[in-house]
Amino acid sequence: MIKKALWLVVVILTLCEISAYKYLVVSPIPSKSHSILGDALVEYLADAGHEVTYITAFTPEKVSPRVTIIDTSDHIRNFPIDATFNLKSFMDGTVTTNNFMTFAPLMLEISRATLGNSNVRKLLADENQRFDAVIAEWMYNEVYVGFAGVFNCPLIWFSSIEPHWMVMQLIDEIPNPAYSTDMLTADSIPPLTFRQRVVELYTQIVGRLAQTFWLSGLERDVYNEYFVPFIRDRYNTVPPFEELRYNASLMLCNSHLSMNTPIRLPANVITIGGYHIKPNIKPLPEDLQTLMDNSKDGVIYFSMGSNLRSKHFPDEVKQSLLKMFGKLKQIVLWKFEEDLPNRPNNVHIVQWAPQQSILAHKNCILFITHGGLLSTTETVHFGVPIIGIPVFADQFVNVGRAVKKGFAQRVDLSYSLAADIEKAIRNVLDNPSYTTRVKELSAIYHDRTVPPATELVHWAEQVVKTKGARHLRSPAFMMPWYQKMYLDLILVLLVVLLIFYKIIIFFIISVTKRVNFILYLHFPCNVYEYGSIIFS
Ligand SMILES: *[C@@H]1O[C@H](CO)[C@@H](O)[C@H](O)[C@H]1NC(C)=O
């Protein structure tokens, strides 16, 4: 009996061994929300039995023994994103980040720093190191394709936002800008007006030109400097950057149809929006549980996310917010990084908020948020209407969509924030349609064939199993644009028409010459002149 059981264990272990792959996950953006996505990705792959090497700026609290961390936490010091994204500076207009031209170089600097990091260099230099696939987060440049070059394995892109034109061009083609918008264009939510369509076309053309004539060169330099020596150490040939850049096998996107624009997608774009939310929500800490259970008029939860700090609100704004919240009959739970003196009785501070557990509580009736994608996703997951105060990056798009979908009010960051929020609270709470709408979307969001995490693991495995999933590659991707637009056909037709025209002219001329000759024989001189006037 024991022998049999031992055999079974051996068999199971061997089976596990066979189907366990080695992944390299590259997600070192020094921003908490990005690391939440990276951590979840790594956790699911490790739970599925795979070995994962994880390049990250934040070491997760709990790591599976199958996970090896490559620490790039020096990014947190060198790129203090938290300090840059200061609420007061946004209110005073002293920083603007919603611009590709400032965003892209910053992201390239972070990528360069990742590749210069000594732990990462050690990994790249280790010639015994092998991976079955690389999963790299796309963040406004493509230099991480070099990892696939060094380890000679398939590449999977991970996009922390929905499939937009910049990532679609890496795997399929640029969708039509008339209905598929750039993620930094603040106000363009399809259907677009004439002006928005023109702005969108302009933005995408300028972005594309900037990539072609400016960023691509910088990226190629980074590839040559940081990857090519390691590739040369391992292999005889070095693939050009452009070849690797357009060679990804798959793209995982953190989006779902209940939230983003449902544009057509090629077979190798897999949307896994909401995968970071675990099926078992952690219970609330006891004090919060009691507070929320006993709130007979409901709880309003207020958080500006992990990058923006409420403590950076100017003092007068903090005071007016406290005063306004004090007038409400609901309990207000404010994620605030330090203690706030003179708080009204119904306002409670949490320095760190278990956001998902709060939103999951049935008494949470409204979420006041900066409109980050994780917060927006969680609010749809749990079915809570929002007041969105967008500040930077994709937050304008996220809040704009939520407003259009009918479960949000937008409030702009300004010194009259308290009064504007007060009005919005009244609108949302007095009008049941906001809650109804978000519950409907939540039902759509949950109505899937399999959970997003299952999808993620399945496709990551399929790429390895099928040696790069070439069968998923979009035919559009491998075709030059003039062929897709049939410009070559138009050229052929033009040539045919031209030849046809020449033949007809030739024919007419020879006929007239003959007619003229006959006419000349009968009526010499004057009619011949008359004819040549007509036909010449
Ligand atoms: C492109 O990807 C495929 C599949 O992963 C791989 O076989 C091929 O070697 C890659 N090409 C280059 C230039 O790396």
Residue 225, ligand 1, Cβ within 6 A: no
Joined together, the tokens standing for residue 43 give 């956790």
Task: Name the residue ranges covered by the structural domains of the chain.
Answer: 21-277+455-478, 286-446, 487-534
Pick from 459, 21, 472: nearest CA to 270:
459
Give the max Cα distance, the chain: 123
Tens digit of pLDDT at every position of the chain (536 positions): 566 666 665 555 555 555 799 999 999 999 989 999 999 999 999 999 999 999 999 999 889 999 999 999 998 888 876 666 788 888 887 776 667 888 899 999 999 999 999 999 999 999 999 999 999 999 999 999 999 999 999 999 999 999 999 999 999 999 999 999 998 876 788 899 999 999 999 999 999 999 999 999 999 999 999 999 999 999 999 999 999 999 999 999 999 999 988 899 999 999 999 999 999 999 999 999 999 999 999 999 999 998 888 888 999 999 999 999 999 999 999 999 888 888 999 999 999 889 999 999 999 999 999 999 999 999 999 999 999 999 988 899 999 999 999 999 999 999 999 999 999 999 999 999 999 999 999 999 999 999 999 999 999 999 999 999 999 999 998 889 899 999 999 999 999 999 999 999 999 999 988 888 887 777 766 555 555 555 54
Q: Which residues of 171-207 are buried (b: 16+ CB within 10 A; e: fewer)?
A: bbeebebeebbbbbbbebbeebeeebbebbeebbeeb
Residue 271, ligand 1, Cβ within 6 A: no
Residue 156, ligand 1, Cβ within 6 A: no
Would you state the pLDDT for residue 59?
92
C-beta separation of 108 from 143 below 8 A: yes
Which residue, judged by its Cα, is nearest atom 12 of ligand 1? 244
Distance CA 24, CA 35 (A): 15
> Which residues are 364's β-sheet partners?
299
Distance CA 39, CA 109 (A): 22
The closest-lying atom of ligand 1 relative to the alpha carbon of residue 470 is 4
Task: Give 283's contacts (C-beta < 8 A, 6+ positions apart).
Answer: 289, 357
Joined together, the tokens standing for residue 165 give 């034109």
**Mutate-to-test residue for ligand 1 from 247, 268, 467, 471, highest number of ligand atoms within 8 A of CB:** 247
Task: Give 346's contacts (C-beta < 8 A, 6+ positions apart).
Answer: 325, 326, 328, 329, 330, 331, 332
- Tell me if the bond preceding 191 is cis, omega within 30° of 0: yes
Reduce the secondary structure of 399-431 to three states and give it as a string: HHHHHHHCCEEECCCCCCHHHHHHHHHHHHHHC
Task: Give 386's contacts (C-beta < 8 A, 6+ positions apart).
Answer: 366, 367, 368, 369, 371, 375, 376, 379, 399, 402, 407, 408, 409, 438
The closest-lying atom of ligand 1 relative to the alpha carbon of residue 463 is 5
What distances in angstroms separate CA 91 from CA 78, 88, 189, 475, one per listed residue?
Answer: 24, 5, 24, 47
Which residue, judged by its Cα, is nearest atom 4 of ligand 1? 468
- CATH architecture group of domain 286-446: 3-Layer(aba) Sandwich (3.40)
Residue holding tokens 């980074």? 222
> Which residues are 251's β-sheet partners?
157, 269
C-beta separation of 44 from 37 below 8 A: no
Please indicate whether the domains covering 21-277+455-478 and 286-446 agree at the CATH topology level: yes
Pick from 170, 199, 198, 168: nearest CA to 261:
168
The closest-lying atom of ligand 1 relative to the alpha carbon of residue 249 is 5
Pick from 504, 505, 477: nearest CA to 172:
477
Radius of gyration of the chain from Cα atoms?
31
Could you tell me the CATH superfamily of domain 21-277+455-478? Glycogen Phosphorylase B; (3.40.50.2000)
Q: How far is CA 518 from the centre of its chain?
A: 78
Residue 146, ligand 1, Cβ within 6 A: no
Q: By three-state DSSP, how is residue 323 classified?
A: helix
Would you state the pLDDT for residue 393?
85
Distance CA 87, CA 390 (A): 11
Joined together, the tokens standing for residue 198 give 């023109």
Joined together, the tokens standing for residue 312 give 């950076």
Task: Give 306's contacts (C-beta < 8 A, 6+ positions apart).
Answer: 31, 32, 33
Distance CA 194, CA 192 (A): 7
Distance CA 241, CA 9 (A): 46
Would you state the pLDDT for residue 528?
52
Task: Give 466's contacts (C-beta < 8 A, 6+ positions apart).
Answer: none
Would you state the pLDDT for residue 2?
62
Of the CA atoms within 13 Å of residue 513, those in its CB half-sphere come to 6
